[in-house]
Amino acid sequence: MNKSEELTPLSVCKFQWFLAACTFLISVLTLAVTSIENYMRLCTSQEGPQWFGRSNVTAIIILIWFIGCVASIIHCTYNVSFDYCNRKRSKPLLPFETGLMVILIVLPILITLLVHIRVIIDAKKFMSQPTFKATAMYKADVSLVRSNFYCFIFFILCWLPYSIVFGISNSNSTHHISDKTFYCTAWLGLSKSCVSNIIYCFTNRHFRTAYVKLFNYCCCKTTVTTARRRQQDTTGRSDVRVHIIPGYNMYSYTSPQRSGNHSEI
C-alpha cells in the first residue's frame, strides 16, 4: 500500500467527522434559538417589534451555520481538543478549548433545557386562566413545544454516553477507553436523527395526521387524476400540497398567520 492509499481512509474519516461535528453544533445552537423564540412568541406580549421576523431569522440561521462550520473546520483541521480518527492527543485540554466547549455546547444546552421548562409551565398557567382564550394555533404551538422538548431530552440521552467517554479520554485519567466503546457511543449520538420523526409521531397529533396523509398520498393513490378527484369530493380542503404535511406550518415561525397568537395575554 503506497502513501496516497494510506491517506485516503484518514481523509474520509476526517470529512465524515467534520460533517458529524458540524451537524451536532448546528443542532445544539438551533435548539437554543428555537426555545428562545418559542418563549417570546408564546409567553410574552407581541405588541412591540418582533425580534424573530423574516430577516432576523434568516440572519440567525446563516450565523448558526457559519459558527458551526468554522468551529468544525478548526476542530478537524488542527485536531483541536481531540483527534477523532486517530484517537491521539498530544497535550492536555487547553483553557480556551474548554471555554469554546462551554460557550458552544454546554451553555446552549442549559438555555434550551431551562427555557423549554419555562415555556411549558407558563403556557399551562396562561391556559388555566378564565380570561385567556387560547386559539387552536396557540394550542398546536404548545403541543409542538412539548414535542420539541421530548426530542431534546432524547438528543441529550443519545449524546451523553459519548460525552462521558470523550471526557475520560481527554482527561489525565489512567482509564483506557477501547476503540469499540468510543466509536459505538459516537454512532449512538449520530443515530438520534433516525428516531426524531418517531418521537414527533408519538407525541404530536398533527404530525401523526400528517404522516397518515403522506402515506395515503404516496402509497395508496392510484393516479394523479384519482387523487385530484378525491380532493374535489372532500369539503374543507384546498391544495393537496399544502395539507399533506400540516406540521410543516408549525416550523414556519415567521408565517404571517402566526403573528398575534399571544395577543390576548
Instruction: Output the nine-digit C-alpha cell for 250.
Output: 408549525
Alpha helices by DSSP H, listed for the chain, are 3-43, 54-77, 95-101, 107-127, 136-170, 179-190, 193-203, 205-215, 224-233, 240-243, 248-251
Percent of the chain past pLDDT 70, that is, above it, reads 71
Instruction: Output the nine-digit C-alpha cell for 156.
Output: 441529550
Average pLDDT over residues 191-195: 87
Q: Report the alpha-carbon distance of residue 132 to residue 20 in Å, rounded.
A: 44
pLDDT at 246: 40
Q: Please, is 220 exposed, middle or buried when counting C-beta atoms within 10 Å of its C-beta (0-12, 13-18, 19+)?
A: exposed
Instruction: Output the CA–CA distances (angstroms, integers) from residue 56 to 42, 51, 255, in the order listed.
Output: 18, 7, 13
pLDDT tens-digit map of 19-33: 988 999 999 999 999
In words, the CATH class of domain 3-203 is mainly alpha
Extents of the domains making up the chain: 3-203, 205-259
Q: Report the alpha-carbon distance of residue 79 to residue 58 in Å, rounded.
A: 31
Instruction: Output the nine-digit C-alpha cell for 239.
Output: 391544495
Instruction: Identify residue 246 by its one-letter amino acid code.
Output: P
Say yes or no to pLDDT of 230 above 80.
no
More confident residue, 152 or 134: 152
Instruction: Identify residue 243 by its one-letter amino acid code.
Output: H
Average pLDDT over residues 148-176: 83
Say yes or no to pLDDT of 39 above 50.
yes
Average pLDDT over residues 43-64: 79
Classify 106 as helix, strand or coil. helix
Q: Report the alpha-carbon distance of residue 188 to residue 192 in Å, rounded.
A: 7
Residues 114-145 as b/e (b if ≥16 CB within 10 A, e otherwise) read ebbeebbebbeebeeeeeeebeeebebbbbbb
Say yes or no to pLDDT of 103 above 70.
yes
Say yes or no to pLDDT of 192 above 80.
yes
pLDDT tier at 91, thresholds 50, 70, 90? low
Instruction: Output the CA–CA distances (angstroms, integers) from residue 87 to 14, 59, 159, 183, in the order listed.
Output: 12, 36, 18, 10
Instruction: Output the nine-digit C-alpha cell for 60.
Output: 440567525
Instruction: Identify residue 133 by its one-letter amino acid code.
Output: K
